[in-house]
């Protein structure tokens, strides 16, 4: 039976991850000291998306077992576990993790296969029976405390969010140089949208899909106006209706403005795909008087940024 109301609800499961792209080997990326924090960040953010909280599920250990990356999970609330299972069953967790890996590692796509196990039970075979899945996870109590390495990565992620301005610019540049073969050239973005160019301050600019660099700069510099920008974007983006924006403010309140803005633009990019263009973001920034941020994204005073 499930736990009574007096005892805390604690369960454990293993998430098996494998990239279906031969050139992307997740265990190798995780074993790389340079890439490990990026992979870990993607896992944390995807789990936060699936449970609605950065603390919805704990990562106890990440095992590298080629070709799989195996994540040992601990749930401390039945409700969080239920949300996780729903997100997993509907494919939202996979989509979110693919997007976060793509952004963290600065790659074009990271296609994933996933499998969920609790003890000897393959939960993928019983996902429609949510209560049975919950029972299997609840039966499996965590057999270990959080790995020291995971504690260090958690601390690293917290400091990364605090010192985002320095760390992210460096991380983006490092990853870009390492993964340049898989990065789309900015000019390719123009063919992905009907609007090939747009005008800003009397100048013509090539329209393109938003890049991880745009994403980082927006989150770093938009500050308290991220909600207003979200409301400008929502006019032609269903994924950013008012409840979503308000929920982001609550969910990421403890992580601060950077993470709130980051998650807002992530929702826009995830829902709009190739239609998430720089022209649409610049228009939303102009509407809210954020001209210097628009100039920053278009590289009009990038030299000041480097000084």
Does residue 181 fall inside a structural domain? Answer: no
Residue 303 burial (CB count, 10 A): 8
pLDDT digits (tens, 9 = 90+) for 114-158: 999 999 999 999 999 999 999 999 999 998 888 889 998 988 887
pTM: 0.54
- Residue 307 falls within a domain, yes or no? no
169 belongs to a structural domain: no
Task: Give the integer Cα–Cα distance in Å for 162 and 95.
Answer: 26
Asked if residue 143 belongs to a domain, the reply is yes
Q: How many CA within 13 A on the CB side of residue 214?
A: 22
Domain boundary among 124, 153, 182: 153
Q: Does residue 62 lie within any of the structural domains?
A: yes
Domain assignment present for 208: yes
| Number of domains composing the chain | 2
Q: Is 5 strand, coil or helix?
A: coil
Domain membership of residue 122 (yes or no) is yes
What CATH number is given to the structural domain containing 266?
A: 1.10.533.10
**pLDDT in the model for residue 307:** 38
Domain end (from 122, 153, 184): 153
Residue 281 — φ and ψ, nearest 5°? Answer: -70, -45
Return phi, psi of residue 168, to 5°: -70, -40
Which of 170, 150, 148, 146 lies closest to 158 in space, CA to CA? Answer: 150
For residues 220 and 165, is the Cβ–Cβ distance under 8 A? yes
What CATH number has the domain bearing residue 17?
3.30.70.680
pLDDT at 305: 42
Quick one: 213 and 145 in the same domain? no
| Structural domain of 202 | 197-298
Has residue 163 been placed in a domain? Answer: no
Asked if residue 121 and residue 37 are part of one domain, the reply reads yes
Same-domain status, 16 and 75: yes
Q: Are residues 24 and 132 in the same domain?
A: yes
pLDDT digits (tens, 9 = 90+) for 173-207: 444 444 433 333 333 333 333 567 888 888 888 88
């Amino acid at each position: 039976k499930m736990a009574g109301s007096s005892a805390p609800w604690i369960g454990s499961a293993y998430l098996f991850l494998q990239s279906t792209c031969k050139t992307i080997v997740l265990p190798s990326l995780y074993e790389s000291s340079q890439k490990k924090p990026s992979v870990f960040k993607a896992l944390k953010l995807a789990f936060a998306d699936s449970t609605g909280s950065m603390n919805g599920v704990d990562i106890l250990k990440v095992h590298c077992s080629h070709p799989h990356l195996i994540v040992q999970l601990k749930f401390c609330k039945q409700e969080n576990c239920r949300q996780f299972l729903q997100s997993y069953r509907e494919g939202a967790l996979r989509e979110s993790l693919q997007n976060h890996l793509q952004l963290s590692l600065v790659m074009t796509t990271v296609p994933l296969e996933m499998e969920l196990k609790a003890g000897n039970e393959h939960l993928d075979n019983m996902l429609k029976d949510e209560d049975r899945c919950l029972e299997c996870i609840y039966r499996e109590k965590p057999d270990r405390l959080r790995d020291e390495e995971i504690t260090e990565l958690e601390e690293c992620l917290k400091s990364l969010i605090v010192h985002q301005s320095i760390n992210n610019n460096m991380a983006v540049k490092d990853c870009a140089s390492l993964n340049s073969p898989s990065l789309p050239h900015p000019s390719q973005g123009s063919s992905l949208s009907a609007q090939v160019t747009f005008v800003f301050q009397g100048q013509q600019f090539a329209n393109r899909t938003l890049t991880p660099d745009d994403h980082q700069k927006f989150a770093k510099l938009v500050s308290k106006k991220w909600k207003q920008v979200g409301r400008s974007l929502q006019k032609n983006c269903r994924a950013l209706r008012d409840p979503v924006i308000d929920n982001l403010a609550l969910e990421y309140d403890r992580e601060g403005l950077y993470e709130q803005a980051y998650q807002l633009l992530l929702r826009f990019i995830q829902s709009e795909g190739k239609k998430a263009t720089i022209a649409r973001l610049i228009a939303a920034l102009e509407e809210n008087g954020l001209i210097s941020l628009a100039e920053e994204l278009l590289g009009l005073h990038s030299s000041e940024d480097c000084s």
